[in-house]
Amino acid sequence: DIQMTQSPSSLSASVGDRVTITCRASQSVTNFLNWYQQRPGKAPKCLIYAASSLQSGVPSRFSGSGSGTDFALTISSLQPGDFATYYCQQSYSIPHTFGQGTRLDI
C-alpha cells in the first residue's frame, strides 16, 4: 500500500495568513493526488483533484501543486471558514489511502 504522510499534523494561523500543508507519498502517484477539507461534525469536501485542479465551486484562494511523491496545498488568505482539518489522498493505486490529516486552528 502507498503511505501518505502530511505535515504538519497541526497548524495555528490567523485570518488573512497564507498557509501551506504538504503531503508526501511513499512512492510515485504521478498526479493522482486529491485534497479534502473537513469541518467539525461535517462530511469531507473535495477541494483539489489531479494535484492542482480546483473542484467546481471551490474558492480560488485554494491551490495545489506537486507531482510524483511531493505535494502541497496552499491557502492564500485564510478566511474564518477555512479553519478545519485537511486530508490528502492518493488515487493512483488501490487502496486509495489518505494522509493522517492536518488540523488548522486559529
Partner 1 sequence: QVQLVESGGGFVKPGGSLRLSCVASGFTFNDYYMSWIRQAPGKGLEWISYISGSGGTIYYADSVKGRFTISRDNAKNSVFLQMNSLRAEDTAVYYCARRGNYYYSSDSWGQGTLVTVSS
Among 10, 26, 27, 53, binds partner 1 (CB under 8 A): 53
Peptide bond into 8 cis (omega under 30): yes
The binder of partner 1 chosen from 39, 100, 105, 106 (CB under 8 A)? 100
- By CB under 8 A, name the one of 16, 43, 60, 81 that touches partner 1: 43
SS3 content of the chain, % helix, strand, coil (to 5): 5, 45, 50
Residues of the shown chain interacting with partner 1 in the complex, contacts defined by CB under 8 A? 31-32, 34, 36, 38, 43-46, 49-50, 53, 55, 87, 89, 91, 94-101
